[in-house]
Amino acid sequence: MSINERIYRIDQLLHERRSVTFQELLDRLEVSRATLKRDLAYMRDRLNAPIIFDKELSGYRLGAQGVGEAYELPGLWFSSQEIYALMTMQHLLSNIDTGGLLGPHIKPLQSRLTALLETADNSVDQIQKRIKVENLGARHHDLELFQVVGSALINRKRLQIKYYSRGTDEVSDREVSPQRMIHYRGNWYLDAWCHLRDDLRSFAVDAIKGVIISEEKAIDTSETKLNEVLGTGYGIFSGKDVKWAVLHFTPERARWVASERWHSKQKGQYLNDGTYELKIPFSDARELMMDILKHGPHVRVIDPPELVKNVKELLMKTIEAY
C-alpha cells in the first residue's frame, strides 16, 4: 500500500469514527509502528491535519482547526479500472434523456461522479479532455422501449414483443418472461424465457421493434440455470451444448492475445515454439468466428473439426465477395 493510499485510509477512519486506536490503525493499514508514526507526523506537519490523541478515548481523532489552517488531502489518482469505471458511468449517463424514467436520479449521480473525479490532481475538465471512452459499435436504442422492457423486468411482468432477427431478416411475435439485462460490447441484451421456444433466449434490445407489458406474471428462472444456458459459452450467443475451441496464435500476435480475456473460463499457455494456445468454451460459433478472423493469418483453428470447417467456409466467402 502506497503512502497516498495509507493517508486516505487514515483520513477515512478518522472521519468515520469518534476515535481510532493506534492498534486499530496498525491492523487496518498492515504496516509497522514506525511507518504509522511517520504517516501521522506527515499528515500533521505537511498537510495540517488536526490529528490529536485523546487520552479519555484512548485513541486518535480530528480536532478543531485554527484560523487559516486549511486541511486538504493531496490529489488522488485513481487506478486504471477506477478511472475507466467513472468515465464510463459519466459517458453512459450523459447519453440518457434526462426527461425520461431515470431523469430525477441522474443529476445527483452525475454530480457525485464529478466530485469523485475532482479529487484527482487535475480538474474534471482536464480528465475528460485527456481521457476518452468510445463505445464503438454501439447500436441505437429507443429510450421509451428500453424503459418498458426495464419496467417489466423489475416488476416481473411478461412482455409481448415483435423481434427482428437479423440472421433471417424476419420479424416474429414472442411472449417472453424477462430475467435480466446485460450490457455487452456497447449494446444491451435481454435474457428471457421465450414461451414460443419454451427455452431461454437472449434478445438484442435494439432488435425489439414493438413491446407491450402483459398483466400476466413472468416466470422466474434461477440464476444458476441462466448461467448454465446463457453464460457458459463464448459471447452473447450461447447454449447448453458447450464445445471447446483450440486456437494457436503466432508468437508475434501472442504478445497481445496472452493478456486478453476472451472468456472467464478460458485456458492459455505458451508452446515450445512461442505459439500461444488459447482454449475457449463456446456453444454458437458465430461471434467467435468473427473474432477469430480479425487476427487473419496470425491465428490457426486447431479444434473442433466443425469450427475449422466453418471458419474456412466463412473465409472463402469473404474472399469471393472481393
- What confidence tens digit (pLDDT) does each residue in 274-313 have? 999 999 999 888 889 989 999 999 999 999 999 999 999 9
Q: What's the rounded Cα separation, in Å, for the pair 184 and 202?
A: 12
Cite the residue boundaries of each domain of the chain with CATH code 1.10.10.10: 3-62
CATH of domain 243-321: 3.30.70
Q: What is the pLDDT of residue 98?
A: 44
Q: What is the pLDDT of residue 159?
A: 96
Q: What's the rounded Cα separation, in Å, for the pair 199 and 183?
A: 21
Q: What is the pLDDT of residue 85?
A: 65
Q: Which CATH number fits domain 143-229: 2.30.30, 3.40.50, 1.20.1070, 3.30.420?
A: 2.30.30
Cite the residue boundaries of each domain of the chain with CATH code 2.30.30: 143-229
Cite the residue boundaries of each domain of the chain with CATH code 3.30.70: 243-321
CA distances for 138 relative to 185, 275, 303, angstroms: 7, 33, 31
**Residue ranges in the chain modelled with pLDDT below 70:** 1, 65-138, 231-239
Q: What is the pLDDT of residue 101?
A: 47
> Cell 453512459 identifies what position?
92
Half-sphere exposure of 303 (CA within 13 A, CB side): 8
Cβ-contact 142, 152 below 8 angstroms? no
Question: DSSP state, 31?
Answer: -
Cβ-contact 249, 294 below 8 angstroms? no
User: Domain 3-62: which topology?
Assistant: Arc Repressor Mutant, subunit A (1.10.10)
Q: What is the pLDDT of residue 242?
A: 86
Q: What is the pLDDT of residue 151?
A: 87
Query: The pTM is what?
Result: 0.57
Q: What is the pLDDT of residue 310?
A: 92
What cell numbers appear for 193 in the block?
424465457
The separation between CA 253 and the C-alpha centre of its own chain, rounded to angstroms, equals: 25
